Amino acid sequence: MNSIGHFVSNEHWPGTTSRVASITNPATGGEIGKVTLASKADVDSIVQTAADALPAWAATPPAKRAMVMFEFRDLLKKHTDELAEMLSKEHGKTIPDAKGEVARGIEVVEFACGIPHLLKGEYSEAVSSNVDSFSVRQPVGVVAGITPFNFPAMVPLWMYPVAIACGNTFVLKPSEKDPSVVMRIAELLVEAGLPAGVFNVVNGDKEAVDALLDHPLVEAVSFVGSTTIGEYIYSRSTANGKRVQALCGAKNHLVVMPDADMEQVTDALIGSAYGSAGERCMAISAAVPVGEETADRLVEALIPRIQALKVAPYTDPSSELGPVISKQSFDRIHSYIDEGLDKGAKLVVDGRNVNLQGYEDGYFIGGCLFDHVTTDMSIYKDEIFGPVLSVVRAGSYDEAVDMINAHEYGNGTAIFTRDGDAARDFWARIRVGMVGVNVPIPVPVAYHSFGGWKRSLFGDHHIHGMEGVRFYTRLKTMTTRWPSGIRTGAEFHFTGGKDV
């Protein structure tokens, strides 16, 4: 049985506590390992290690930091199959899904390889007589990352490669539900040449999280997870003077215009609503067809495709839909389905009765499709985080836009149409951070930035891309004058460019 502690100063460390949590294989419901839960004292020790490593790493030339990232990228590519297998065993997602997750993480590492260029400042000569001005970006310090179970490899890789390339040291608190892949990737960072103490992993629960949020040596906190927790992390961290980026919950809509290619729409919804069992913040969970005729065609096209989804553990190469992460998630998703039925929504595809021989205790839920969902229902308002798609019929395009803009979340959305005017109007008017046009999951590439609006984001910065560089650095601007042999006398006023 696998036993996981922490990763500190380039070594595995068991910690000082006896508190542990079970790691479960969601396909069987059986325990496959244990993970140590850190105490406040453990967190203090790990943060101090990161603080001790900071001066030397911050002083390392960006080009040398980039060389570590190049080596790290190559190792991640080499070990993708191993990492995907490890990830799927603890999370439950299919192997192709897990490989795709690792690949999207590698993209951010590749972005971080360009850090010498990304950290270039600005220079202005002669802003006044014999006065020049220039700016640089310097590391923030010790940074903490708190990441969710649904992307145990990718989401941390969206954080720490950029952070450490910028010259910071990092303490990662991953989900205790699937921590193994993080620990293996930490070993690869050591192999890539990262100095001891620059990247550290502390496993734990709320006690560890609170210790990070309160620690005086932690300068910034990056978080991905639910809105409830994200708001808590933002409030507590900012009260302690830390900068925060907290990427939170979502309810992502896909608008289907009457002119859309229905086959393309159906393919898009099958992948975006049911991939990774719906356990991703960019999953499409609300399809919004415009007009009754469009809605009828959409539902008719979706039903056989959802019914045909292959539900199986990741060990089956033909699996399209694996289990959800835990019994708690399994029960919560079922309760939402029950509540949707009680409120009058029509469950046209019911995936609750999955029974796989040999996996009777696994957390499998087949694809579910609700029709005639209204905006006052919990299955519309809340993030279910499971393989449940709701069809919310809109009478007009404007009604669809207003519906999305009225929702408390603004993470991602999409429109499917052949009409360029409609598409442009949609992305211009919609109050959502990431928008797709005939693209169902508009996750930006690594050199752009990922993040939502409204209650999907707390803080001013999105993640990775240049927004990540800005979050993990502080801007410093210098104004200089060197003796020129010309004395102009004392100045008692602000000297600007107009005084040249």
The distance from CA 367 to its chain's CA centroid, rounded to whole angstroms, is: 24
> How many degrees, rounded to 5, is the angle at CA 196 between CA 195 and CA 201?
120
Give me 302's structure tokens. 């979706």
Under 8 Å CB-to-CB from 60, ≥6 apart: which residues?
Answer: 167, 195
Which DSSP string corresponds to 276-329?
A: GGG-STT-EEEEEEBSHHHHHHHHHHHHHHHHT--B--TTSTT-SB---S-HHH
Q: Does residue 494 sit in helix, strand or coil?
A: coil
> How many degrees, rounded to 5, is the angle at CA 401 between CA 398 and CA 406?
120
Q: How far is residue 308 from each of residues 311, 351, 357, measured CA to CA in Å? A: 9, 11, 18
The distance from CA 262 to its chain's CA centroid, rounded to whole angstroms, is: 30
Q: One of 113, 166, 248, 281 is an active-site residue; which one?
A: 281
Query: One-letter amino acid identity for 49?
Result: T
Give me 253's structure tokens. 């809509």
* 252 and 413 Cβ atoms separated by less than 8 Å: yes
The distance from CA 497 to its chain's CA centroid, rounded to whole angstroms, is: 44
* 244 and 220 Cβ atoms separated by less than 8 Å: yes
Strands 284-289 and 388-391: parallel
Distance in angstroms (rounded) separating the CA atoms of residues 383 and 363: 19
Distance in angstroms (rounded) separating the CA atoms of residues 473 and 119: 9
Q: Does 281 qualify as catalytic in the annotation?
A: yes
Distance in angstroms (rounded) separating the CA atoms of residues 173 and 488: 57
C-beta atoms surrounding 438 within 10 Å: 15
Q: Please name the residue that has the structure tokens 């961290």.
A: 237
Distance in angstroms (rounded) separating the CA atoms of residues 15 and 169: 20
Distance in angstroms (rounded) separating the CA atoms of residues 6 and 208: 12
E strand segments, 234-367: 243-247, 252-256, 284-289, 346-349
Q: Please name the residue that has the structure tokens 């179970």.
A: 149
Phi, psi of 344 (to 5 degrees): 105, 5
C-beta atoms surrounding 20 within 10 Å: 17
**Among 192, 168, 188, 132, CA closest to 243:** 168
Which residues are marked as active site?
A: 281
